[in-house]
Amino acid sequence: MDIIRISKNAAKAARVLANLSASEKNKILEEMARSLLRDKNAIINANKKDLALAKKAKLSAALIDRLLLDEERIQDMAEGLINVVRLEDPVGTEIKSWDAPSGLKIHKVRVPIGVIAIIYESRPNVTSDCIGLCFKSGNSVILRGGSEALNSNIAIFKAIEQAIKSNNLPQGAVNLITTKDRKAIDILLKLNDYIDLVMPRGGEALINKVVKVSTIPVIKHYKGICHVYVDDYADLDMAEKICFNAKVQRPGVCNAMECMLVHHDVAPMFLPGMLKKFKETGVEIRGCPITKRIAKEKIKPVTERDFRTEYLDLILSVKVVNTINDAINHINIFGSHHSDAIITNDEKNAREFLNRVDSACVYVNASTRFTDGNQFGMGAEIGISTDKLHARGPMALEELTTYKYIIYGNGNIRT
């Protein structure tokens, strides 16, 4: 594929999209949603090809679940686009304004970033989510999905592209790179004359490569090594429900719990029942020496490598800690600054955890599974940033904008 031509077209289209009204964008987003539902059979048939190849390649059950599309998930994709329609358009919003001593009237206003390239793996619904959010925020988008979801991504893209074409928008408004040649990414990441921002979403190897190669600013949607810490002041029934949900509800996603930390004083009461419940649902436990001693059956020892691993599967690291300070230090050392939670009824401990844990999303008495743009009321998200600049946590419309200063004068000159 001609990656340079695609990028040039995207840059031209971005200038058109930046000036579409909210009503124009919403109308087209609604058409995109209808196209997805109308073409659901074609999308499901394409997805079946990807699933067959995934099973032949012996991908894990969790990865196959991420890949799967059925009528319900396609309906969710369409509803995600409609949710974006309902959100307020950030473009043109005034952040602040003031009168300068010179008499100039200065306005700080939100504007689109421009051209956003998104390199992602596994989940084909990302194709729809990214197009919807980039389009509503006035950005053109270049998508490069993983080869394991290629057929699904093409089918989704074709359905959505119909709405772009029928409204006479520029060809480069939405773009999908379909070649499997990895050199395409190397070329794409050097096109800083046309592309304004790159977002990698996927495994550690992909993200490290993008960061190493790109001459374009990158926002990392890095791995989710998420923790839940069961404090000595925890309601243990609540803790059991939250920990079970955080690990088991959907283990193959970045906001699932990968490590459970338990205070020494409550471990003898909490761990036996919790570990039994995990075992009944097929969770493999890797535990510290105290966890192994408390457990009523043999479990694997946990290693430092485990603590640094995003399993994305029914595997869980468990560690007993002596103090809340130990728990916080463990999270800040081994975590990925994604999402971490404390279960406690002690306000002082909750406040200390919130203040000292250096993660994008920090919870008190809630599952890490809520780190999701839709759950936060942002509509469909484009991903979860573990960076600190310029966006952090779930990224939606506002995070896909930057700003410029609009200045009004009346013959003002500088002396």
Length of the chain (residues): 415
Residues 176, 292 within the same domain = no
Residues 341, 293 within the same domain = yes
pLDDT at 22: 98
Q: Is residue 191 part of a domain?
A: yes
Instruction: Count up the domains in the chain and report the number.
Output: 2
Which CATH number fits the domain that encloses residue 118? 3.40.605.10
Residues 401, 341 within the same domain = no
pLDDT tens digit sequence for 304-351: 999 999 999 999 999 999 999 999 999 999 999 999 999 999 999 999
Q: Is residue 378 part of a domain?
A: no
- Token pair in block for residue 100: 């300068």
Decide if pLDDT at 379 tops 90.
Answer: no
Residues 6+ apart with CB under 8 A from 296: 272, 275, 276
Residues 216, 289 within the same domain = no
The residue to which tokens 């000036």 are assigned: 19
pLDDT tens digit sequence for 255-283: 999 999 999 999 999 999 999 999 999 99
Residues 392, 364 within the same domain = no
Q: Is residue 334 part of a domain?
A: yes
- Compute how many other C-beta atoms are within 10 angstroms of the C-beta atom of residue 223: 20
What is the rounded CA–CA span in Å between residue 211 and residue 272?
43
Q: Is residue 137 part of a domain?
A: yes
Q: Which domain holds residue 269?
A: 226-370
Distance set, CA 313 to CA 52, 107, 257, 356, 361 (Å): 20, 48, 10, 28, 21
pLDDT tens digit sequence for 82-117: 999 999 999 999 999 999 999 999 999 999 999 999
pLDDT at 1: 67
Residues 264, 125 within the same domain = no
Distance set, CA 230 to CA 34, 236, 237, 260, 281 (Å): 45, 8, 11, 8, 20
Q: Is residue 178 part of a domain?
A: yes
Q: Is residue 376 part of a domain?
A: no
Measured N-to-C along each axis, helices 125-136 and 150-166 cross at an angle, to the nearest 10 degrees, of: 30
Residues 55, 22 within the same domain = yes
Residues 169, 230 within the same domain = no
Residues 36, 180 within the same domain = yes
